[in-house]
Structure 1
Amino acid sequence: MEIHNPEHSDHTGSPDVRTYFSSPFHDESNTAFAQLISDAVRGINSLKPSDRNSSSFLGESPDLTVSRASAQKAVLKPKGEPFSQVLDDIISTFEGLPNWGHPLNMSNICPQENYAAIAASMLTQIFSPNILETEYAWNTSKAELESSAILADMAGWEAEKSGGIFTYGGSGCWMYQMKYALSRVLPDSREKGIRTDVKIICSEQAHYAMLNSADWTGLGMNNIITIKTLPDSNTMDTDDLERVLQECYTNNVPVASVICTMATTDACAFDPVKDVRKLLDRYPNRPEYGKALLYCDAVIGWSWLAFKNYDFELNPHQFSEPVLRSARKNYEAIREIRYADAFGVDFHKNFSPLTSSLFMYRDKDEFENLLKRESSAYLQERGDYNPHNYSLEVSRAASGSMAGWATLKFLGAEGIQHVLIHGLNNKQYMMQELDQYQDMVCVNQSDHGPVLLLRIYTEQTNASEQYSMELQNSDLKNDLVKHNVLIEKVADHLWKWFREKKIIDGKFTPYLSITKGFRPATYNENTTDPEAVIYALKVYPVSTYITRDEMLHAIRCIRSARDEVM
């Protein structure tokens, strides 16, 4: 079936351009369009493997077949191509892409989309609702409004007084919090620009989006102050935070915002929001400045709020004791988000398509009035929801909000709980299996997230003892560096095997990754020595299709790679 058919023409003899576009009417062309979408889905599904015993990328080859130099030679052709040819070209670009959700894909916390989110996101592409104002979004704005209300309730806020706005990612949430903070602390900055070096304060473990926001807002990256993290938990050191806040207060240096990271990527560390709130109240900005903002970067950790009403004593779902303990710790940490002024959410961490991020603010009147602009002459505010007056973006596709909303409705609290527990179960099982290997050690056993961070040594080494000494003894820095090199070589070898479709013990090599700075050595608390940090292999077993077999296979492959690089 072809969309492009030159035989169809209008009365002038030119091709009928209607054949290029989705029909607004319920006619035969809708059947044709549905068939085309079906062909597209079948085409992309053809890249998926037919069984579990396969490599975790799409198609047959992971080779990069495009380069920037070759792509820049593209020009517009005089005539369009048939839909079937365009579709083939579209599908070919997915060849070699990591197959998120495959049981051997344990590289990072990447999106594995649920059916409801996919459907909601896809349908918005047909009619392009724009959450600019009610007139262009119509009832699809319900997705943003209800998602915000649900998240506010989960966080322990008053939903009627709170609000939220979907944006382009966790970086967008960071940008919103920074603009909110600057407008609150320096109200004249909206007209006159930033003329005061206000400070943004976050932990050493904060996401690098802090640099983007400070740079793009014009505040300047030098106005970021990073707070030490505790070596045993990777959480913000509140003593160091108090020192910095006291210094700012004494010297009349205004603080725009303090950011608590709620579940770091590697350690699943939650900063102590309640304690941070107390310190901000103790050391406020001087009267000539506005009140500093407390923001929680909860793009990963927000989902633990789904345990808000779970009875941890009765444990109705019969989660195992170690896993239940981790879930409870994570919920107890994330529920302190109630003390924040704003927080960020990523639905695409395990649940929904990119991008579906939501910036939440506790006081909608303050936020929306503080950032309000004059309306455009060509926009008619015919409804009561017009976020274009204060949003960063003007045109905003409804795809992210619809995907997030559909996810909340489809999974509910129990669905989210079971997805999270699945990852913890995988981690717990792998940690138990590691006990039999003296030369391997999990370096984040005390963390409560699903990720495992592993160090592997030579076969004769007692990994636990060696790691402990490398972490604490500066005299063993050469050993630390040497073994970091080994870890990196093992990671590179596993990546090479993954792309070569190497089979070990009858199964393809899994897709794993590496962290090159899980934590600094204890004698490097100021992180002044870039070499005195801990490298680790990273196993992120969050795909809902991962079983114990894949966890055991990952251990075998890591050991095989170590033996080969040695």
Structure 2
Amino acid sequence: MDNPAQAAAIRHASSTDDDAPRVEIGGAFQPPKWAEYHAKMASEFPSPFRGTSDPLARQIEKFVGKLDQLRPEKGGPAYLGENAALTYTYPEVKNVRIGQKMGDLDAVLDDVVGLFEGMANWGNPLTMCNVIPQSNTAALIASMLSQVFSANILEGEYAQNVHKAELETAGMIGNLFGWDPVKTGAIYTWGGGGCWTYGLKYGITRSMPHSRTAGVRTDAKVICSQQAHFVQLNASDWLGLGTDNIVHVRTDVATNQMDTAHLEEILKDFTARKIPVATIVCTMGTTDASAIDPIREVRELMDRYPNPEGYGKAVLYADAVVGWSWVYFANYDFAKNPLGFSDRILPVLKRNGEQLKEIMYADAVGIDFHKVGWAPYVSSCFLYKDAEEFESLHRWGGDAYLQVRTPYNPMYYTLEVSRTASGSLAGWATLKYFGMEGMQSILGGILETKYYLADLVNTQSDMVCVNSDDTGLITLFRAYPEDIDAKAQFHRELTQESSRTDLIKHNALTRAIGDQLYAWYREGKQIDGKYTPYMSFSTGFRKAEYNREGADPEAVIYALKAFPMNVFVTPEIMQWAIHCVRAARDAVLAA
């Protein structure tokens, strides 16, 4: 290097040694300011070498202590820290600038910890608001390792052996579904919405291959049930198919399952009018009602009513992000019951396993490890039965600055290019850690608690469980004024249009109870010396029986929601939840 001052500055900046060599020019040499910053950063970035003092290890050790201070004492509130209130106002919070000087690492990390003040504590047994579990340790550490070493499943060169996690996920889940594991493909993506988008794109491309170059110029349809997730709007919008091309199949008012007789009417009509279908979506476990669509029957109807000549086959996509793990019970020995589940839940486990066993009929499946997989965000996985077909349909050519170094290079057919390996490592580690019996045990254990609550609700004269036929982990129920026979009143509201006014009135009560419980949770309110639970409510998980077509937006069923998703929930917590619901109801009625 011709400039000795520049060389010395670079040497100094690259060294954490106070005795780094310097060059004298015209007296004394002081390194430029950038080199001082550079040296400070080099002392605080993770060390690339073994045996050195690692700033990351030091900070993690300190950070763990700070995290522990966020957690409450046993019996504490369902949020982290001391105060659950928001510490900012919107939109004024955005009126901020980047600091001129370099920040202090400890101070920045203190600020990070501060952001978690008041956040829900998903591992607290009082937390039962939604399908959001605490993450398991194996998945957390595996995911974190990807962040340390920046594994990118762009192509093999930037992930090397790490991308085996995605490949082995395809094999393990493919085996679980009854697919050929070697032919199965998997893409970890940005969430259940990403899986839905991939499923719809697969259908668009297979039914209309010309759309890749000419664009979507045909009003092909995407068919899903009335209970399908709202991400249907996002996917059809962003992919250019348009939300007008979503076609909804009626659902059974009791089970919330897709009505296959109505589906056949739709397919028969499209066949007669030569209208192609891109994708049919079966929801294999809705968030609130836990409904599982009859996917084998849907496959039979698709085969009976193929797309018109000139179009490829429609894709059958299973949106199983919530219900996927029930497939672990597809081949459980219910006669011997080796894990010792109670007689109360054995038939439920058997039914769930039998329904999810039919997932083998799907062309592609979306699953979330960060839902009923107890893994960190984001660990959603889009699986497809025929990897050769899917990957060749969506493949583009190479790029001058990227080289093929291994057999696995998904950059050529994925929507994302740069993809962190954190999700694939989290999912893969969960599969390896839980095994079959671990997953069966955690699912069955929580189901035992769920049915304890459901049965407890039904012993209360002023409460009624409104999803007794559902077989998921959620309990939905309504609380009425104490002088009302809840079960008789709910039956009238569900079945008789003459009780519509009462239905709307008690929907409002249900919502008010849910809002009161949420306010108490945020306030850190204690009842009889104990904190209130973090629960939620559904504003229409099913329609009244006289409103099957959904023409009346108010003739729907509101329900309080208890979604126990962690291993620390106990029957005692369920009893406490009932007590707090009743207290919230009384407070609402008194007001």
Give the TM bin, normalised by the shorter chain.
Answer: over 0.9
Please give the secondary structure, in 2, of the residue aligned with 1:497. Answer: helix
**Cross-structure match for 1:222:** 244
Tell me what 1:29 maps to. Answer: 53
Return closer, same or farther for 1:6/1:225 CA change in 2, 3 Å cut-off.
Answer: farther
TM-score, length-scaled by structure 1: 0.97
Report the Cα distance in structure 1 between the residues aligned to 2:369 and 2:459, rounded to whole angstroms: 37
* 2:280 counterpart residue number: 258
Secondary structure of the structure 2 residue equivalent to 1:516: strand
2:329–2:352 Cα contact (<8 Å) kept = no
**2:43 aligns to what SS in structure 1?**
helix
How far is 1:10 from its partner?
8.1
Task: Return 188-197 or 62-71, whichever deviates more.
Answer: 62-71
Match of 1:165, SS? Answer: strand
Moved more, 89-98 or 424-433: 424-433
Corresponding position: 1:360 with 2:356: no
Rate the CA distance shift 1:7–1:98 in 2: closer, same or farther, 3 A.
farther
Of the three residues 319, 332, 343, the one matched with 2:341 is: 319
Query: Which of 486, 496, 504 is residue 519 of structure 2 equivalent to?
Result: 496
Q: Which of 419, 427, 438 is the matching residue for 1:396?
A: 419
Count of residue correspondences: 561
- Structure-to-structure mapping, 1:139-538, within 5 angstroms: 139-350=161-372, 351-538=374-561
Q: How far 1:416 sits from its partner (Å)? A: 0.7
Letter of the 1:444 partner, please give it: N
- Deviation string 1:26-80 (CA, Å, 9 cap, x unpaired) is 24232x32111111222122100121x1110000111111234333222121211
Distance (whole Å) between structure 1 residues aligned to residue 293 and residue 459 of structure 2: 34
Q: Supply the RMSD in Å over aligned alpha carbons.
A: 1.5
How does the TM-score come out when normalised to structure 2? Answer: 0.93
For the pair 1:553 / 2:573, whether they are aligned, the reply is no
Three-state SS of the structure 2 residue aligned to 1:215 is helix
Query: Structure 1: how far apart are the matches of 2:457 and 2:20?
Result: 69
Which protein has the larger Cα radius of gyration, Structure 1 or Structure 2?
A: 2
User: Structure 2: which amino acid aligns with 1:28?
Assistant: T
Match runs of 1:96-135 below 5 Å:
96-135=118-157
Q: Which residue of 2 aligns with 1:63?
A: 85
CA–CA distance in 1 between the matches of 2:20 and 2:202?
A: 54
Given that 2:80 and 2:120 are in contact with CA atoms closer than 8 Å, whether structure 1 keeps it comes out as yes
1:198-220 CA distances to partner (integer Å, 9 max, x unpaired)?
00000011011111100100110
Query: CA separation in 1, counterparts of 2:225 and 2:18?
Result: 64
Report the AA paired with residue 25 of structure 1. Answer: F
Partner of residue 45, structure 1: 68
Q: What is the correspondence of 1:77-96 to structure 2 with a 5 Å cutoff?
A: 77-96=99-118
Output the CA distance in 2 between the equivalents of 1:554 and 1:8.
64
Partner of 2:97: 75
Show CA shifts across 1:386-418 (max 9, x none). 000101100000000000000000111111111
Does the 8 A contact of 1:111 with 1:354 survive in 2? Answer: no
Task: Give a deviation string over 1:227-257, Cα, whole Å, max 9, x none.
Answer: 1100111100001111111111111110001
2:330–2:356 Cα contact (<8 Å) kept: no
Change (3 A) 1:309 1:8: farther
Q: Indicate the SS of the match to 1:343.
A: strand
Q: Which amino acid aligns with 2:53?
A: S
Identical columns (%): 47
Q: Indicate if the aligned counterparts of 2:283 and 2:292 stay in contact, CA closer than 8 A.
A: yes
| Structure 1 moving runs of 4+ over 3 Å | 5-11
Give secondary structure in 2 for the equivalent of 1:534.
strand
Structure 2 stretches lacking a partner, 5+ long: 1-15, 23-30
SS of 1:200 mapped into structure 2: strand
Any conservation in 2 of the 1:341–1:363 contact (CA below 8 Å)?
yes
